[in-house]
C-alpha cells in the first residue's frame, strides 16, 4: 500500500512516515497542500493522510480541489488534524473526507484501524 502524508510539521512527517514504514507501508511525504495535490496527481497513492492547517494551501482547499478532479476523487482521504471541532469535521466530510483522526488524542492503532476501515470499503 502507498500512502501520501500531507503534513507541514517535520516532526509529524518523520514520526508517522517511520511508523507507517515499519508497518510495511510505502510513504510519500508532502510539506504543504500545493505539493500534496501535485504528488496526488503524480504518484497515485492508495490513500492520503491530510493535515488541515498548512501553508500555501490548507487541507480544506486540497479537499475542494480533489472534489473537482475525477481521478483524484477516487483516492480516499483521511483527515489527520489537531482541529477537532465538530464544525471542522463536518466541513471535511462535506468536502469528501473518508475519515477523521484527531492528532490531539492520538494512538497509532487508531490510525491503522482507520486506514484499514477506509481501504476495506474501497475493495
Indicate the class that CATH gives domain 2-38+53-113: alpha beta
> In Å, how far from its chain's centre is CA 19?
15
- 42 close to 34: Cβ distance less than 8 angstroms: no
Alpha carbons 33 and 15: distance in angstroms, whole number: 19
pTM, entire model: 0.91
Distance CA 54, CA 45 (A): 20
Query: What is the domain partition of the chain in residue ranges?
Result: 2-38+53-113
pLDDT of residue 84: 65
Q: What percent of the chain has pLDDT over 70?
A: 95
pLDDT tens readout for residues 93-122: 999 999 998 876 667 788 888 888 888 877
pLDDT of residue 93: 92
With cell 498548512, the residue in question is 54
What would the mean pLDDT of 5-30 be, rounded to a whole number?
93
Amino acid at each position: 500500500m502507498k500512502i501520501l502524508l500531507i503534513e507541514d510539521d517535520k516532526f509529524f512527517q518523520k514520526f508517522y512516515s517511520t511508523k507507517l514504514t515499519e508497518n510495511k507501508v510505502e510513504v510519500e511525504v508532502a510539506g504543504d497542500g500545493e505539493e500534496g495535490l501535485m504528488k496526488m496527481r503524480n504518484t497515485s497513492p492508495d490513500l492520503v493522510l491530510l493535515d488541515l492547517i498548512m501553508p500555501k494551501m490548507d487541507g480544506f482547499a486540497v479537499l475542494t480541489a480533489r472534489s473537482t478532479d475525477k481521478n483524484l476523487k477516487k483516492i480516499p482521504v483521511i483527515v489527520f488534524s489537531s482541529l477537532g471541532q465538530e464544525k471542522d469535521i463536518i466541513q471535511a466530510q462535506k468536502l469528501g473526507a473518508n475519515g477523521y483522526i484527531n492528532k490531539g488524542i492520538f494512538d497509532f492503532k487508531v490510525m491503522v484501524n482507520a486506514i484499514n476501515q477506509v481501504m476495506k470499503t474501497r475493495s
